[in-house]
Structure 1
Amino acid sequence: MGFFDGYDIAVSGMSAQRTRVNVTSANIANAKTTHTEEGGPYKRQSVAFHDVLLHEKNKTNGTNDLRAPFAEENDKNQLALRGVGVKSIIEDDSAPVMRYEPSHPDANDEGYVAYPNINPVIEMINLLEARRSYEANVTAFTTHKNIDVRTLDILKA
């Protein structure tokens, strides 16, 4: 393990959770959006993460060859965890919630309006979970920094 590996892992976790917070915030903000540029109601989004791996042999020569998580099985023992990344942002394909509002401008011929299938309570829980994960990565970063500072103090003495 290199000197900065702990920092890299914590920073990648913070970046991934920041993306999750942004996507979840967009879901909450668009919970009542009935019309988008693509047509139809807003579609809920979620974030898929993947582990970012590094070849151990490349770690020593400084090339930092980041690998996708789809490495062959025989390479798994030669890979070291480098952090976490955002694999993709996935749109939910669930059916919209239909509400009878005949006076709404987006109402269909029968008077029903298609609303996004977004539960604000679940989104708030996802937001809190992402925030706690972000805070855990900040704590790991700070702890790593404190260990390094104490090590340098011991070496100075």
Structure 2
Amino acid sequence: MEAMEISRSGLDVEWRRLEVIAQNLANMSTTRTGDGAAYIARRLVSGPVESFQRVLTTETETASLHPNGVRVYGIEAKDDGVKRVYEPGHPHADEQGFVTYPNISHAEEMSLMVRTSRAYEANLVAMAAAQQIYSSALQLGRQS
């Protein structure tokens, strides 16, 4: 896989991660989802397309000897669960007066968003550098 394709796969993964973070932030105060349960925060699980061990142990000259970028493995619920807040006047309060909210930390989500944005920017820079290198190689080829 070429450098630009690896960066593109990284851009795709980080964009999806930003979408999941945005969903978590948007649902911080959601007391009920469509099925009646409380919203549970989610995390994107990503990693390399091919295991590093397999790349190291492959003996033939195939495409598997080259990095294949990253991919999304799935979206999982966070283990933090929910928090119960005493609000007896809330329409979704139970018989004891507690309302169930997702246990989402605004600060944690925002710091993860900044980190994800930086990873996205790094992939953009890597893609631009690869494009510049390819362009320079073309210029050298035209001169000879």
Map 1:112-151 to 2 at 5 A.
112-151=98-137
Task: Tell me how far apart the structure 1 counterparts of residues 7 and 24 of structure 2 sit (CA, whole Å).
Answer: 26
CA shift at 1:95, angstroms? 3.3
Q: In structure 2, how many angstroms separate the alpha carbons of the residues matched to 1:42 and 1:132?
A: 27
CA distance in 1, matches of 2:4, 2:81: 42
The alpha-carbon deviation at position 74 of structure 1 amounts to 6.5
Contact 2:41–2:81 (CA<8 Å) still a contact in 1?
Answer: no
CA deviation string 1:34-84 (max 9, x = no partner)? 00012221100001112113xxxxxxxxxxxxxxx4x9x667522332100
SS at match of 2:47: strand
2:57 alignment partner, one of 52, 77, 92: 77
Q: TM-score, normalised by structure 2?
A: 0.89
Q: Write out per-residue CA displacement over residues 1-46 of structure 1, whole angstroms, 9 at most, x where no aligned residue.
A: xxx6101100000000000000000000000000001222110000
Which runs of 5 or more structure 2 residues have no equivalent in the other structure? Answer: 59-63
RMSD: 1.7
Matched, 1:100 2:86: yes
Q: Which residue of 1 aligns with 2:139?
A: 153
Give runs of ≥4 in structure 1 deviating > 3 Å. 73-76
Could you say which residue in structure 1 is the equivalent of 2:61? none
Matched to 1:14, the amino acid is L
- Taking the aligned partners of 1:124 and 1:107, their CA distance within structure 2 comes to 28
**Residue among 37, 41, 44 paired with 1:44:** 41
Task: Report the number of matched residues.
Answer: 137
| Cα 1:75/1:6, change in 2 over 3 Å | closer
Q: Greater strand share, 1 or 2? A: 1
Between the aligned partners of 1:113 and 1:74, the Cα distance in structure 2 is 49
Distance in 2 (alpha carbons) for counterparts of 1:127 and 1:95: 20
Read off the aligned partner of 1:142 and give its amino acid letter.
A
Percent identity for Structure 1 against Structure 2 = 30
Given the two structures, how large is their TM-score scaled by the length of structure 1?
A: 0.82
